[in-house]
Amino acid sequence: FLLNYLPYNVEKRQERITFNRRQYEGYVKEFVFESCVADAMPADHPLNLEPDGNWIAFFRDNEILLQINKDCQRLCPDFDFFRRPTEYSCLSLFGKEVPVGVLRRRGETSALQSRSLNKNLAGVTNIIHLPTYAPFQPSHRLSSGLVTQSQRKYAEMDTFYCFNNLMTEIHPNFLRKLDGSREAGLGGQMKILSDLLSKFDNNLCKHFKKIELVPEHFAFRWLSLLLAREFMLPDVLLLWDTLFSDPHRFNLLPYVCCSMLMPIIIELYVFKKNDKLLLNIYNLNVYEKSNMKIMHFLQRIAGIVEN
């Protein structure tokens, strides 16, 4: 319910879940299945340049899939979860009731996709199952057990709405016109982060200015990905729970970024050129430098907010 998918009233949750899952099945039928059936008809040639042609739409969709695949690869390149085959494929697309001609057409067109996409497409479809994992063990590793088989089966449907609600809330961060803003979007969060750094360590701000390093150079990834690449995945989930449950929601994010710099300030002063600092700042692990556990890190954030 922190992402406004489930109502607080427990008695109404099953009704909401059932409605949303049926609605999602309708989306799949309308935008994927019926589209694939239409593509199975020999309407045009692969070299046809008509803007409304089936092949043009196919190539555009592939561009999006390739970008999604690249993003998944960058997010957790060594995480086995993103390389496993999808356990619950969409039966509307690959079930026994799908005509052979449709499946053959998909096989023919898929040959035009890049080899890397074919090899790693399972990662794109598996990412939606991530929230169904039990949180984590004390060893900071994901539990190997899943909650229930039903939750695994419907993970794609449920995650679609959670992700949609999340993006609705943070979409200003992805509007290019707001990148230079000082009030909203990434520009506004950069302004807050700069002010926080100036308040808590003005000497560090002066050092950044001296070597001509602005927060955008290192904090863009932090803010746009909600720190998904900066911590171990179980810690990311705990950090996100903190963001989602905080009354200020994502306005807390610049404070988190400021807290990340505090334990490694001494290391930051070592670098006298911005390119050297930029290359190493992502490798300055907060835990290794300060022996700080995730709960202590969250407590540090609370201290910065209070001050």
pLDDT in tens, 29-52: 777 666 555 554 455 566 666 666
In this structure, the answer to whether residues 158 and 272 fall within a common structural domain is no
| pLDDT surpassing 80 at residue 192 | yes
In this structure, the answer to whether residues 75 and 40 fall within a common structural domain is yes
- Specify burial of residue 137 (Cβ count, 10 A radius: 0-12, 13-18, 19+): exposed
Rounded distance, CA 51 to CA 106, Å? 21
| pLDDT surpassing 50 at residue 79 | yes
Average pLDDT over residues 84-106: 55
For residues 48-67, b (16+ Cβ closer than 10 Å) or e, as one string?
eeeeebbbeebeeebeeeee
Q: How far apart are the first and last CA of the chain?
A: 30
| pLDDT surpassing 80 at residue 189 | yes
In this structure, the answer to whether residues 186 and 299 fall within a common structural domain is yes
Place 91 in a pLDDT band, splitting at 50, 70 and 90.
Answer: low
Whether residue 211 contacts residue 272, with contact meaning beta carbons closer than 8 Å, is answered with: yes
Domain boundary among 150, 168, 186: 168
> Does residue 4 sit within a domain?
no
Q: What's the total number of domains in the chain?
A: 2
In this structure, the answer to whether residues 213 and 156 fall within a common structural domain is no
Range of the domain at 109: 10-168
Domain boundary among 113, 142, 168: 168
Q: Indicate the SS3 state at residue 146.
A: strand
Q: What angle do CA 158, 125, 51 make, to 5 degrees?
A: 100
**pTM flag (> 0.95):** no
Any idea which of 45-49, 164-168, 202-206 has the lowest mean pLDDT? 45-49
Give the range with max mean pLDDT: 57-66, 74-83, 232-241: 232-241
Total number of residues shown for the chain: 307
- What tokens does 222 get? 């932090």
In this structure, the answer to whether residues 211 and 194 fall within a common structural domain is yes
- What tokens does 3 get? 């992402």
Domain boundary among 168, 203, 237: 168
In this structure, the answer to whether residues 63 and 210 fall within a common structural domain is no
Residue with tokens 């710099």: 261
Rounded distance, CA 141 to CA 138, Å? 8
In this structure, the answer to whether residues 103 and 154 fall within a common structural domain is yes
Percent of the chain with pLDDT over 90: 2
CA distances (Å), origin 210, targets 74, 213, 258, 272: 31, 8, 19, 9
- Specify burial of residue 140 (Cβ count, 10 A radius: 0-12, 13-18, 19+): middle
Rounded distance, CA 20 to CA 5, Å? 9
Give the range with max mean pLDDT: 25-29, 84-88, 98-102, 160-164: 160-164
Whether residue 86 contacts residue 28, with contact meaning beta carbons closer than 8 Å, is answered with: no
Tell me, what CATH number does 204's domain have? 1.10.472.80
Residue with tokens 């449950």: 245
> Does residue 3 sit within a domain?
no
